[in-house]
Amino acid sequence: MYVRILKEDENIGYNNFIAESRFSSIYQSFEWGIVKQYDHWEVIRLIVIDSGQIVGGLSCLCKKSPFFAKRIFYIPRGPVLDYFAENAPDIFKLLFLKIREIARREGALYIRISPDISKNIHFNDYISKYNLHRVRYPILHTTTYRLDLTKSEEQLLNSMESRVKYDIRKAQRENVEILSDDGNEEYLKDFYNLLYQVAERNKFPIYSYEMMQNIWNILSPNGMCKIFLARSQGKIISGAFLFLFGDKCIYQWGGSVRAKNNPNQLLHWEIIRWAKSNGFSIYDLQGIPENVKKGDELWGIYLFKRGFGGDRIQLIGEYDYILSPILYKIWQVIEPKYPAVKNCLSKIKKRK
């Protein structure tokens, strides 16, 4: 068993391994690495080979820190391997030591990992053995709701809260149409208009339309994304941008305008039906707050996603291996404020 850099012509075999893993994520796909290169990240991909087969892999994003002459190494939802396998510790060790060797050579500030594994999987041995430090402000969410699409439609409906089923029937009675793209970029334009309105209303940053086009142009031809829209009386009122990878259909982004007929529940019900009929076994509603109570800013998002009756999944979170301790302490102070500062500077540039 050995580890090495992935070759360019091995992308199909690499993707197949990642997609078939029970711990798969589109963020570890070959295509997502291409997407992030448009966002000024470099990509390092490693694989572990055993008896001629890939048994472990990672796609590491690398970028110069905005404040130091150091690089950030980030492995979103990776490394990927069978964490239940007997040789899992050996596979992890090969991947970790190799990426650490590269990170040291390139002058990294830290290496951040965030495997797509739940808290009930024993990970403490890895944390202590490799001196990993839990990240206080993770980049990716640590809690989600996932629906089991191997259930029948009747079982899925019965699992939903009554208010969700009521809103589905109401939108159906009021003839809300649900549309899905056929590779037509007009759907992306309509969706981005919704997303932009939500972002302006709620003051959160989003990708530029140019970056969304890059995502669309890379993922859509490979069947790795899809857009659903809800239309009422000729007007687009709600939409969802989905990532598709392995057995997972993932609700990545959503947008809507205020409407009396509550189209979002019907929109997601039709997504669930489509995903199920197309062979996906999981519908991931993506992030919810880890700790939330009534009256909190994100209470509405939590209620909306909870209403579909999925399983609440608590992931282990993100962990850093620190390579420059002094600068890392400074970065810990800066990092929580950096996205807001970056978004503010971006808006100022657009006005000029």
pLDDT at site 350: 52
Q: Which residues of 283-321 are buried (b: 16+ CB within 10 A; e: fewer)?
A: bbbbbbeeebeeeeeeeebbebbbbbbbeebebbbbbbb
The confidence score (pLDDT) of residue 294 equals: 81
- Give the N- to C-terminal CA distance of the chain in Å, as an integer: 55
* pLDDT for position 351: 52
pLDDT for 51: 96
- Do 249 and 268 touch, CB atoms closer than 8 A? no
| CA-based nearest residue to 224, from 209, 241, 208 | 241
pTM of the complete model: 0.92
What pLDDT score was predicted for residue 345?
46
pLDDT of residue 34: 97
User: For residue 219, what pLDDT is reported?
Assistant: 97
Q: Domain 2-140+316-351: state its class.
A: alpha beta
CATH superfamily of 143-314: Gcn5-related N-acetyltransferase (GNAT) (3.40.630.30)
What is the predicted pLDDT for the residue at 347?
A: 53
- Asked whether the domain spanning 143-314 has the same topology as the one spanning 2-140+316-351, the reply is yes
**According to the model, what pLDDT value does residue 343 have?**
59
Please give the pLDDT value at position 122. Answer: 79
| Main-chain phi, psi angles of 153, to 5 degrees | -60, -40
Chain centroid to CA 49: 26
pLDDT at 287: 86
Domain ranges of the chain: 2-140+316-351, 143-314
Which residue positions in the chain have pLDDT lower than 50? Answer: 345, 348-349, 352
Tell me what pLDDT residue 348 has: 47
Residue 267 backbone dihedrals phi, psi, to 5 degrees: -55, -50
